[in-house]
Amino acid sequence: MLQFVEQTEMFGQAREQDAGFGEDETSIGKASSDGWMIRWTPSPAMAGLRHFNQEDITLFDINASTFNTAGMLEGCNCPWLLAAIAVLADHPAVIRAVFKNYPDGKLDSRGWYTLHMGGKLPDGGNVIEVNDNVPVQARTKKGTNLNDWTPLFARPATAEIYPMILEKAFAKMLGKYEELERGSALYAWSILAGCKPYESVSLQKDLDPTSEDYGDWNELEVSDSSWRFGYMGAITDTLPAADLLARVVEALENEDIVAASIGQGSAGRKPETESGLVAGHVYGIRQIVTQADMGGNQTTLVQLRSAWNTSDEQRTYKGPWGPRSPEWNTQLGKHIHENHVGQGNYFTNGFFWMEWEYFCNEWDTVLIARLPSEEDHK
């Protein structure tokens, strides 16, 4: 118990209770039964699972051009939401706008945060307030002493607590943490960034082997993303893989949100694929590079962002140009590594590469969402 008390007291007095989101089982819902006792403690005490000094812990890194999300999904019960947040790490202005009352990125001394969402909340407003207390559970017990207090939900591996605050805000918005078990990335982006219908598309691979469009990509224009579990729209075009490439390159040049996912299929199917990708949530697409080798043969590579722990072999991409692929030892691999952020960055921030052909084989959905301009919010 001493371990828990020391870490809580590091961050000052107890937080004022949130009358709209009680610190009890009604705000949690179904929870893990792997440990003992559940308490609520300030999230800074849990940042990086206590691997950082107190003075290094922040709300977010004010100087970062992209936030580090490696390990954000570790132990996560609701990867769809945190994965959608991780994609926004390449659009840090969105996160900073949500926390616009804290432009310096520092922790609030009272442990309370006012979030200004880019889109409308279910109650019609766009502001929600939460304190930074999160539910934690003791994972080990020795006699009467409880230790290894660990967050039940988000467990970011960095010194930034914004993922825990955003997750709690969504839990409060929906009534309890249990409601975060399933959801859609487009729904999360519509709330956080204000992404609008008719400015978002879902490119879905035709998986029916009897279809004349088998392997091509159907472009669905999203007409409604207000449903948490999915979205509605109409197919407006069908693209072969070459046209899909041009579509994704154009979206990246426009600085749109771009992400890929694999449908999890039946409920009993394990989300981890043989290639090391995880189904059921989005991976951010960061850049596309086409390079020629010494013989003039061109290779097109896609760089994505994984928010899983980079030491997790089961959830590390194992295909060509993956983090441990021999392709990086070639002349072309060395050139890409030196000029376009190579495989070494996987182990620090989760960035990894795939060859375009394998990208089209592995993923079955590509999402593109236009970020609203400042004029759109006026």
Position 345 scores a pLDDT of: 66
278 & 211 share domain: yes
Res 377 pLDDT > 60: no
* Higher pLDDT, residue 295 or 6: 295
Q: Which of 32-46, 92-106, 363-377 has the highest mean pLDDT?
A: 92-106
Give 165-183 pLDDT, tens digit per residue.
Answer: 999 999 999 999 999 999 9
* Higher pLDDT, residue 142 or 329: 329
47 & 148 share domain: yes
In this structure, is residue 378 part of a structural domain? no
**CA distances (Å), origin 204, targets 188, 278, 302, 366, 371:** 19, 17, 18, 7, 21
Position 4 scores a pLDDT of: 41
- Domain termination residue (choose one: 181, 216, 244): 181
312 & 230 share domain: yes
Domain residue limits at 144:
2-181
In this structure, is residue 89 part of a structural domain? yes
Res 234 pLDDT > 90: yes
Residue 164's nearest CA partner among 53, 42, 13 is 42
351 & 215 share domain: yes
157 & 288 share domain: no
CA dihedral (112, 90, 151, 127) in degrees, to 10, reads 30
In this structure, is residue 193 part of a structural domain? no
CA distance 305 to 82: 13
Which residue in the block uniquely carries the two structure tokens 């290779």?
299
| 3-state DSSP assignment of residue 9 | helix
In this structure, is residue 18 part of a structural domain? yes
In this structure, is residue 191 part of a structural domain? no
Give 309-327 pLDDT, tens digit per residue.
Answer: 888 889 999 999 998 899 9
In this structure, is residue 189 part of a structural domain? no
- Upper half-sphere CA count for residue 322 (Cβ side, 13 Å): 16
Q: Are 195 and 347 in contact (CB under 8 A)?
A: no
Position 219 scores a pLDDT of: 97
Q: What is the CATH number of the domain that holds 328?
A: 3.90.70.10
The vertex-71 CA angle with 2 and 299, nearest 5°, equals: 170
Overall pTM surpassing 0.85 (yes/no): yes
- Domain termination residue (choose one: 119, 152, 181): 181
**CA distances (Å), origin 107, targets 42, 99, 122:** 11, 11, 27
175 & 50 share domain: yes
**42 C-beta neighbours (distance < 10 Å), count:** 24
263 & 303 share domain: yes
- Domain termination residue (choose one: 130, 146, 181): 181
In this structure, is residue 173 part of a structural domain? yes
Position 301 scores a pLDDT of: 94
| Tally of structural domains, the chain | 2
Q: Identify the sign of the CA torsion 96, 98, 101, 107.
A: negative
CA distance 280 to 270: 10
108 & 231 share domain: no
Position 130 scores a pLDDT of: 97
157 & 219 share domain: no
End-to-end alpha-carbon separation of the chain, Å?
50
231 & 357 share domain: yes
In this structure, is residue 375 part of a structural domain? no
55 & 136 share domain: yes
Contacts of residue 321, Cβ cutoff 8 Å, sequence gap at least 6: 301, 327, 328, 333, 343, 353, 354, 355, 358
119 & 234 share domain: no
Contacts of residue 375, Cβ cutoff 8 Å, sequence gap at least 6: none
